């Protein structure tokens, strides 16, 4: 993993959501972060939480039994 990737596998909600929101709040324009989660609730909750933050785009990619949540700040 590189510095723009954060592994949250094994963590259950609400921890992944809180961690992602905190990281996104610190993002700079043009930055992209990739989060790895395996709690199905996170892929529902993260987009709902981030829709309140302007200029954020969220993509979710299934990867076996986990997901990649890719967040970009415009």
What is the CATH classification number for the domain harbouring 21? 3.30.110.40
Q: What is the pTM of this model?
A: 0.93
Residue 44: C-alpha distances to residues 13, 14, 16, 28, 68 (Å): 11, 11, 11, 24, 13
Number of folded domains that form the chain: 1
Question: How high is the pLDDT of residue 13?
Answer: 96
Indicate whether 70 pLDDT > 70. Answer: yes
Convert the pLDDT of each residue in 24-61 to its tens digit.
999 999 999 999 999 999 999 999 999 989 999 999 99
Q: How far apart are the first and last CA of the chain?
A: 23
What is the span of the domain harbouring residue 47? 5-73
* Burial class of residue 47 (count of CB atoms within 10 Å of its CB; 0-12, 13-18, 19+): middle
């Amino acid at each position: 993993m590189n510095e723009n990737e954060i592994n949250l596998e094994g963590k259950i909600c609400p921890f992944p959501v809180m961690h992602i929101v905190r990281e996104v709040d610190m993002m700079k324009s043009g930055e992209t972060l990739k989060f790895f989660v395996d709690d199905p609730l996170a892929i529902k909750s993260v987009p709902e939480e981030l829709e309140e933050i302007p200029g954020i785009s969220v993509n979710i990619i299934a990867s076996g039994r986990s997901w990649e949540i890719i967040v970009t700040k415009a």
